[in-house]
Amino acid sequence: MKAIILKASASILTAALGIVCAASSATDDERQTTDLIKVNMLAVEHAKKLIETGHAVMDSHGDWAQHQPSAEDKNEFIRRRGFGEYEQWHLGIDERRAANTKARYKFPYGDFENVHRSALLAVKSRAHQYGYADIESAAVQLLEMIHSEKKQATSAL
C-alpha cells in the first residue's frame, strides 16, 4: 500500500514540476520579448530638457487621444527633421525593428513641441501592463518632474 501511495505521490510531484517548468519557460520567453524594447535614454534626456524649459502641458489623463500627432503629422515631422529627431520623442526602442522606421519607436510622450502629462500617463499605464519596468520608471520620473516644475511655478506667483 505504501508503495502505491509513494508512486502516486511521485507521479503527482513530477506532473506539478512539469507545469512549473512550463510556466517558468513561458515567463522567460515573455521576458526575452520585453527585453527587446529598451528605454530610450536619449528621449528621456530630451524630455527632461523640455520640461525644464517650460515645454510641458499639464493636461488631463484622457487628453492624449486628442493631442497626439496624426500619422500625417508624424510623416511630415520625419520628412522635415528625420528619424534622429523623431526618435527623441519616444521613450522606447524596439530593437527587433529596422532603424529609420516608425515601427522601431514606441511610447510617444509629446506632440513634437511639448511633453504632455497625458502622454506620460498613457506610457506609464501601457508600460506597466506589458512589463516594461524601465520605461514605466522613466515615465514616472518625468511625471514627477512635471509636477515639481508646476509646483515651483505656482509657488513663485
Closest Cα to residue 106, out of 87, 120, 84?
87
Are residue 152 and residue 102 in the same domain, yes or no? yes
Which helix (DSSP H) or strand (DSSP E) does residue 107 occupy? strand 105-108
Question: Per residue in 128-147, pLDDT tens?
Answer: 999 999 999 999 999 999 99
Are residue 73 and residue 27 in the same domain, yes or no? no
Whole-angstrom distance, CA of residue 25 vs CA of residue 29 = 6
**Lowest mean pLDDT across 12-16, 21-25, 70-74, 147-151:** 21-25
Q: Which domain holds residue 147?
A: 36-156
Whole-angstrom distance, CA of residue 95 vs CA of residue 81 = 22
Total of domains in the chain = 2
Cβ–Cβ under 8 Å, residues 65 and 78: no
Are residue 111 and residue 50 in the same domain, yes or no? yes
Task: Point out which residues pair with 106 in neighbouring strands.
Answer: 92
Burial per residue of 52-72, b for 16 or more beta-carbon CB atoms within 10 angstroms, e otherwise? eeeebbebeeebbeeebbeee
Are residue 23 and residue 87 in the same domain, yes or no? no
Are residue 106 and residue 139 in the same domain, yes or no? yes
Cβ–Cβ under 8 Å, residues 119 and 89: no
pLDDT of res. 20:
34
Cβ-Cβ contacts under 8 Å for 11 (sequence gap 6 or more) = none
Are residue 25 and residue 75 in the same domain, yes or no? no
Are residue 11 and residue 69 in the same domain, yes or no? no
Q: What is the pTM of this model?
A: 0.76
Are residue 18 and residue 68 in the same domain, yes or no? no
Are residue 150 and residue 87 in the same domain, yes or no? yes
Are residue 61 and residue 101 in the same domain, yes or no? yes
